[in-house]
Amino acid sequence: MPGKSYDVDVVIPARDEEQGVARVALAMPPRAVRSVIVVDNGSRDATARRAEDAGAIVVREPHVGYGAACLRGIAHLQALPRPPDVVVFMSATGCDDPADVPRLAQPLRENLFDMVIGSRVLGQAPLNSGQKAGNFVATSLIRAIYGHRYTDVSPFRAVRFPALIALGLRDPGYGFLVEMQVKALKTGLRIAECPVRYAPVGKRQRNLSTLRGTVGASAQVLFQIFRHSTAR
């Protein structure tokens, strides 16, 4: 509708990311984003203060978990007098480029899709061996079970907010991302992928590169893939 405002809010889960969170918030394209919500996920450093100093809105989720932080951000947006039309999820480390936010949100603004995944694979990003293997296993299983070919389970993504709420997401851990992608398929959302830039920096990236971090995250992802397949 001509003249109608179209609001895009960004949710950034953050735990001990004082080095990157302010840089990410300050680099957000101002004309493309209404507000930046940083969810402080039990940080022990100055993450919250740095985010606030950079102009972000800080909400707190003491229960540690990627999905828990995202769900807290969603609840905050849902309680607003005017919730956003689109929510974008991205990393606090600086891995994701805020300049790509408009490219992810534009197809939703034009009502072409309901969800756009920022694909590091299509963007030819320098993923490490653990990320490549995890992506291959997750996307191959989703294709085999659900018949859809994703290239990535990147946390950088844009979703129409009403569609996101309708998915009823619940996973408090790293299974949150694939739960979203699987439920989007099951509910018939219009899905696209968009190549994005990616720079592998930050402590969270390093943690997920360890054997323990990779195995733990992979187990949560696989659980979500098989859990929802039983209802097909």
Of the two residues 131 and 78, the one the predictor is more confident about is 78
3-state secondary structure of 15: coil
Q: Which two tokens stand for residue 199?
A: 């720079």
Q: pLDDT for 221-232, tens place per residue? A: 666 676 666 555
The answer to the question of residue 1 being in a domain is: no
Within a domain: 119: yes
Return the pLDDT at 208: 46
CATH number reported for the structural domain that contains residue 99 in this entry: 3.90.550.10
pLDDT at site 201: 73
Global confidence as pTM: 0.89
Do the domain assignments include residue 224?
A: yes
The answer to whether residue 187 scores a pLDDT higher than 90 is yes
Given a contact cutoff of 8 angstroms between Cβ atoms, the answer to whether 149 and 122 are in contact is no
Res. 186 pLDDT band, cuts 50 70 90: very high
Residue 74 burial class via C-beta count within 10 angstroms: exposed 0-12, middle 13-18, buried 19 and up: buried
Residue 215 has pLDDT above 60, yes or no: no
Give pLDDT, residue 5. Answer: 77
CB 76 within 8 A of CB 37: yes
Q: Is residue 2 part of a domain?
A: no
Confidence of residue 10 (pLDDT cuts 50, 70, 90): very high
> In this predicted structure, what is the pLDDT of residue 133?
86
- Residues spanned by the domain of 118: 8-229
* Assigned domain for 68 exists: yes
What percent of the chain is predicted at pLDDT more than 70? 85
Are the CB atoms for 48 and 16 separated by under 8 Å? no
Query: Kind and range of the H or E element at 89?
Result: strand 86-89
Would you say 201 and 20 are in contact if contact means Cβ atoms under 8 Å apart?
Answer: yes
- Whether 42 shows a pLDDT value over 70: the answer reads yes
Neighbour tally for 139: CB within 10 Å:
20
Residue 3 lies in a domain: no
pLDDT > 50? residue 58? yes
Q: Is residue 132 part of a domain?
A: yes
The three-point CA angle 59-40-6 to 5° equals 50
Which one has a higher pLDDT value, 209 or 128?
128
Q: What is the mean pLDDT of the chain?
A: 89
User: Mind listing the pLDDT tens digit for each residue in 91-150?
Assistant: 999 999 999 999 999 999 999 999 999 999 999 999 988 889 889 989 999 999 999 999
CA distances from 84 to 7, 39, 51, 77, 87 (A): 5, 17, 20, 7, 7
Mean pLDDT along residues 191-196: 98
* 74: Cβ contacts below 8 Å, ≥ 6 apart: 11, 87, 164, 165, 169
205 belongs to a structural domain: yes
Phi, psi of 59 (to 5 degrees): -120, 160
Structural domains of the chain, count: 1
